[in-house]
Amino acid sequence: MSCKVCKFGGTSMADGNVILRAAEIVKADKERRYVVVSAPGKRFSGDIKVTDLLYALYAAYEKQDSDLFEELYEKISVRFLNIEREIGKDLKVRAALDEAKAAILGGAGKDYCVSRGEFITAHIVAEVLGVPFVDATEFVRFDENGILKEETFDLAGKVLKSYDKAVVPGFYGLGADGKVKTFSRGGGDISGAIVARGVKAALYENWTDVSGFYACDPRIVNSPVCMSELSYSELRELSYMGANVLHSESIFPVRSAGIPIRISNTFRPEDRGTFIVPDAKRSFGDSVVTGIAGKKGFTSITIEKSMMNAEIGFVQKVLSVIGKHGISFEHLPSGIDTMSLVIDNEFLKDGILDVLLQEMKEAVRPDRIYTHEDIALIATVGHGMAKNVGTSARLFKALSENGVNVNMIDQGSSELNIIVGVEGKDCESCIRAIYREFFQE
């Protein structure tokens, strides 16, 4: 029998009633055999995700602030005990909480602590569905650098083969030191993709609180178009650039196996959702642009030097400066006598930027070096752009007509995206201008 893997995000696990709703979705299709869950997320705006409470709990433990520790532990306990009450069944939540607390106080570590949201939720869902719980540490493996090991996929297949149905906690696995290790935030999507690849699923269903992938952020443009289909590469570009429906790394496990992903809405399961497939079909009349996403918080360092183009090893010297500090760059647009490096501000805290500038001056003796410290990057993405003459002309005309000043332009060689760098304050108006041009003609 072909099978589907369902991953439910935090809002789909936020309280007992929503969990029951998710369970109905699973039961409505007998091909939905493997379920991966996140920890309970926000129930309303202003609410706190259980994972955030767990991070705070661990910080209190480290600071040895026992009052705060107890206060947070109580908050987390109330969340889970309410879920148990709403479901109306003995789910052994108290015992699970006590066990987690004892292990945290016994030094189990930060990743263990923050993974308990998923662990307890998966036990609850397994109990509600009446199917076995299988811990992610049985097959999700990381190497000593924290990189997911390739063997994870085969191991997932081997372990899960013995279960006709199972519920697996997302977000973590086993580190090289034999301890629990988590993915980056939102990593439950990666766990779902690992399970889908391991069991060779026909479909990876990602259940969330929106009815699919919108052409841009609905907080910026009112009711944007919901895409019916999107390619893996388009999704990767958009999610990397801030469209946060899916973790940007979650496509890798399913992509090589050609398993499509469907984004569905737990609160409107009848909606079609968005399918993410190897090659998205575009019909006549579709926009040449598939989606627009933007991210703030970058700095560009521009270096100018006459005859830069003739100086062998120039770029390499600049890159070795950032490499030495363990910093990676996002973009490297260059001209004949100029080059820029765009770097995420996360890397530039605590005066590091000044150190880099000084070291670059010494390394390449530029004529001029300057920075823009509040850059937003906006990606306009779509396979349709490669075949349509004049797409970039339309994009830049729209930006100039809306008074958006462009600091940097980068077009990927696959012609899948055009990235512009604008001042942080122009991020939203830039996205709106591009949306209007391509979707509201």
Instruction: Kindly list the residues in this chain that would bind ligand ASP in the complex (CB under 6 A).
Output: 9-10, 38-39, 49, 51, 117, 170-171, 185-189
With H, G, I as helix, E, B as strand and everything else as coil, classify residue 378. Answer: strand
In angstroms, rounded to a whole number, what is the distance separating the alpha carbons of residues 176 and 174? 7
Least distance between ligand ASP and beta carbon 170 (Å): 5
Measure CA 87 to chain center: 30
CB count in 10 Å sphere of residue 45: 5
As measured in angstroms, the least distance from the Cβ of 82 to ligand ASP is 18
Residue with smaller CB distance to ligand ASP, 148 or 430:
148
Our CB check for ligand ASP shows the closer of 111 and 426 to be 111
Give the CA angle between residues 298, 302, 305 to the nearest 5°: 170
Residue carrying the six token digits 């391509």: 438
Amino acid at the residue 306: S
**Structure tokens, 79:** 């969340």
Q: Containing H/E element for 342?
A: strand 338-344
Q: Shortest distance, CB of residue 73 to ligand ASP, whole angstroms?
A: 18
Rounded to whole angstroms, how far apart are CA atoms 192 and 7? 5
Of residues 171 and 438, the one with the C-beta less far from ligand ASP: 171
Give, in order, the Cα–Cα distances in Å from 125 to each of 27, 118, 133. 12, 10, 9
Q: Pick the closer one to ligand ASP by CB: 21 or 42.
A: 42
Rounded-to-integer distance, Cα 85 and Cα 387, Å: 57
Nearer to ligand ASP, 139 or 172 (CB): 172
**What phi and psi values does residue 423 have, to the nearest 5 degrees?**
-65, 145
Pair type for strands 338-344 and 274-277: unpaired
Q: What CA–CA distance (Å, rounded) separates 374 from 299? A: 6
Q: Which residue lies nearer to ligand ASP by CB, 39 or 280? A: 39
Min CB(38)–ligand ASP separation in Å: 3
Query: Which residue number, 187 or 384, has a Cβ lying nearer to ligand ASP?
Result: 187
Q: How far is the CB of 227 from ligand ASP (least distance, A)?
A: 22
**In this complex, which beta carbon is closest to ligand ASP, that of residue 118 or of residue 237?**
118
Residue 25 Cβ, how far from ligand ASP at the closest point, in Å?
Answer: 18
- Bridge partners (DSSP) listed for residue 181: 173
Is 97 or 406 the residue whose CB approaches ligand ASP more closely? Answer: 97
Q: Closest residue (Cβ) to ligand ASP? A: 188
Cα torsion 29, 6, 166, 14: sign: negative
The token duo for 305 is 């030097």
Of 398, 392, 394, 390, the closest CA to residue 426 belongs to 398
Minimum distance from residue 21 beta carbon to ligand ASP (Å): 18
Q: Report how far apart, in Å, the C-alpha atoms of 354 and of each of 316, 331, 348, 350, 373 are.
A: 20, 20, 9, 9, 12
Rank residues 169 and 198 by Cβ distance to ligand ASP and give the closer one.
169
Residue 68 and residue 60 in contact, taking contact as beta carbons nearer than 8 Å: yes
User: Cα 15 from chain centroid?
Assistant: 23
Q: Minimum Å distance from CB 207 to ligand ASP?
A: 12
Question: Closer CB to ligand ASP, residue 116 or residue 331?
Answer: 116
Inter-residue long-range contacts of 323-332, CB under 8 Å, 24+ positions, other chains counted: 324/359, 325/352, 325/355, 325/356, 327/352, 327/356, 330/298, 330/377, 331/377, 331/408, 331/410, 331/419, 331/421
Smallest distance from ligand ASP to CB 248, Å: 13
Shortest reach from residue 131's CB to ligand ASP, in Å: 21
Smallest gap, in angstroms, from Cβ of residue 246 to ligand ASP?
A: 10
Measure the CA–CA gap between 222 and 93, rounded to whole angstroms. 41
